[in-house]
Amino acid sequence: MSNQSVQTVSTSNDKFKVALAVVAMIAGVVGFFYLKGQNKPALMCAAALVAGLVVAIALLWASATGRDFLNFAKESVRETKKVVWPTRKEAMQITGIVFAFVLVMAMFLWGTDKVLEFLLYDVILGWKQ
């Protein structure tokens, strides 16, 4: 027999908090666009959006599922900072290589199309265009 403890995935209380957080986030976004449609100052529109997001984050932080998600988001940002991004010169070189490859492939496909067109219409079918 195993003596391992069983961990519950989430409670209905946590699900309710997450649902409220989603509603708060949506309310912030809707408030932003509603105020924007009423020609209110940009600061007021942004405040509505930020308020909705802050309330949503607070509600998420109050639930175990939300805390796990927010910790995952923090770790994702931390991992993104570890990525070694190419320099501008390297990015331009890679972009040039991609464009050159696309150009060569386009010419190859055009040439293949013309050869097959000649063989099919002129040689096999005998149609002169």
Q: Distance of alpha carbon 22 from its chain centroid, rounded?
A: 18
> How many angstroms separate the CA atoms of 46 and 108, rounded?
52
Nearest to 59 by CA among 16, 101, 109: 16
Which pLDDT score is estimated for 18? Answer: 85
pTM: 0.50
Give tens-digit pLDDT for 3-53.
Answer: 665 455 557 788 888 889 999 999 999 999 999 899 889 899 999 999 999
Which pLDDT score is estimated for 129? Answer: 58
* b/e sequence 50-65, b meaning 16+ C-beta within 10 Å: eebbebbeebbeebeb
Nearest to 57 by CA among 77, 78, 71: 71
Residue 31: other Cβ atoms inside 10 A: 17
Give tens-digit pLDDT for 52-109.
Answer: 999 998 888 888 887 888 889 999 999 999 999 899 999 999 999 999 999 999 999 9
Higher pLDDT, 54 or 129: 54
Which residues lie below 8 Å from residue 22, measured CB to CB, with a gap of 6+? 56
